[in-house]
Structure 1
Amino acid sequence: MNEAFVTRAQETLAKDTSTVPEFWQNKYRTEAAKNWDKFYNRNATNFFKDRHWTDREFEELRPGHTFSEQKPVLLEIGCGVGNFIWPVLKSNPDLKIFACDFSPRAVRYVQANENYSEDRCYAFVCDITKDRLADTIPPHSVDIVSAIFVFSALPPEKQAAAVANIVEILKPGGRILFRDYGMYDLAQLRFKSGHKLEDNLYVRQDGTLSYYFSTHRLQELFVEHGGLLELENDYTIKRLVNAKKNIDSERIFVQAKFQAPIDTEPIDLAFAGTRIADTSLTDQKPNTDMDTC
């Protein structure tokens, strides 16, 4: 991504100076789970495609990786109707998956799938911004946490609490695999006036939220607040071409890996400070030097 593109994107976003009224902002923020439940009521299992690409992007999901010396345990947060679960379970027969979502309807779709078996997959309802994962999963017992297009659905002020919640169940040396929408993504630039709640946070027509991340924001959440080690944290650009619709543009995502320290003390301290830190964390101005993407 070159400097000229970043400048044009910033100019486009700067034109939208209006924000959603406070009443509606509060409603969208507090009813995130409810709006996603309505989404799955309308779309059932037909909206998202299965994610067959995840083991190409994240080697940790492949059979024979270091974590496979013993049967690895994975937690998928924001599992939806299982589009991540089924391809990974098929390609990695040793994997055990916990899967959670704050939409009860989505979790029921996972449980009703013909491939669902609690021997290999246990799905449960959980709002990771307030429901303690360790009430269902033993602390420090999970090798891998996948966070694929899920944090963008959370209000920014609740994201730090979600990180601390995840960190509590992560093994020493365990990893978080993260992919989500990046700043200046095509979807962000296409929002019309009247959908912006704050910088980088928007509401879709159906009431669901969409946040667009900078790599700085990820570092703030997972390293500075969560006490994790940063293994990867960068922008990923995918070219989108559709001649029929005259589309030739770039999708911008953030992709990252974070690892829990081998010493569990920093993890315990990070979780202990959640009740204070989750309300004080603020999103600083993002780093716009994206030439290395």
Structure 2
Amino acid sequence: MEESKTETNLYRGHVAKRLTREEIDKMLAQNSRLVPEFSAMQLEKNAKKYWDLFYKRNDTRFFKDRHWTTREFEELLDLEKEHGVLLEVGCGVGNLVYPLLEDGLKIKQIYACDFSPRAIDFVKSHKLYNPEKIIAFQTDVTIENCFSEIHIPVNVVTLVFVMSAIHPEKFERVIKNLYTVLHTDGVVLFRDYGLYDMAQLRFKPGHKIAENFYMRQDGTRTYYFSVDEVQNMFQSAGFETISCLYVERRTVNLKESIDVPRIFVQAKFKKS
């Protein structure tokens, strides 16, 4: 059967997944009932509250520690060799920073920031927290001067499952802020949800806010990226692309008989 114009648009610029007929119908059904404009505005207004409630409910148990980061991003290992400075944006409860320290990586200085004050409290309560080495602070990375706590140039910024929680209209401001805080030749390490990831296809009508942007049941939000979009955003802000690609993984939980494919965008960008 010949593809309609709408169906063709669903495939464009994406090579990780070609949608089935059933998946196309799910995507089109999402457009039948969008989040009302007023509700969408309230979600934006109360974004910090929803993330604080998220950490209140889940404590430190929700996200698994990310022991995979040095396998995917060798630039983290270079921090030790070059006595570099790390900034983790959207640090949550420390699921990226503390595994690095547990694995023995010696980093000169670590900055860790999050939108949620409660998340920062968890970071500071960790047994490995050392205020002389780790400066953890609450901030909103979508506004100017958000990194006022940082007084030295940063060599590596990690941006792992962070941008997807931010309103798309604010992506440009976030990337400009990262460019400002980075040292010359500093890099941003990016990983986030890819377009047509399993989680995106599961949203029911009434959860879509805008194109590829959705509301979860708990009031937090998530966006799904294409590689072209990510690369264009960073290059427009003055970054040079080192790599930008889709990575396909699986979420496996044998206890609950879960084994599903996932799609992420993984990228590295260098400050020119």
**1:163 match:** 175
**1:97 match:** 110
**1:201 match:** 213
Aligned residue type for 1:116: Y
113, 134, 138: which one aligns with 2:151: 138
1:108 matched to 2:117: no
Distance in 1 between residues matched to 2:202 and 2:238, nearest whole Å: 35
**Percentage of identical aligned residues:** 44
Partner secondary structure for residue 33 of structure 1: helix
Q: Contact 2:85–2:107 (CA<8 Å) still a contact in 1? A: no
Distance in 1 between residues matched to 2:61 and 2:195, nearest whole Å: 27
**2:27 match:** 13
Give the RMSD, CA atoms, in angstroms. 1.9
**1:233 match:** 244
Given the superposition, is the C-alpha separation of residues 7 and 119 from structure 1 closer, same or farther in structure 2, using an over 3 Å criterion?
farther
Q: Once the two structures are superposed, what CA deviation does each residue of 1:77-132 show, in whole Å capped at 9, x if it has no partner? A: 00011111101123311342100001001101111111100122110011100152
TM-score by length of 2: 0.88
Given the superposition, is the C-alpha separation of residues 32 and 95 from structure 1 closer, same or farther in structure 2, using an over 3 Å criterion?
same
Q: Once the two structures are superposed, what CA deviation does each residue of 1:39-98 show, in whole Å capped at 9, x if it has no partner? A: 111111111111111111111112xx2x44431100000001111110112331134210
**1:59 match:** 74
CA displacement at 1:133 relative to structure 2: 3.5
Q: Contact 2:16–2:246 (CA<8 Å) still a contact in 1? A: no
Distance in 1 between residues matched to 2:126 and 2:163, nearest whole Å: 25
What 5-or-longer segments of structure 2 have no aligned partner? 1-14
What 5-or-longer segments of structure 1 have no aligned partner? 262-293
Distance in 1 between residues matched to 2:101 and 2:145, nearest whole Å: 25
**2:37 match:** 22
Number of residue pairs aligned between Structure 1 and Structure 2: 256
Q: Contact 1:41–1:105 (CA<8 Å) still a contact in 2? A: yes
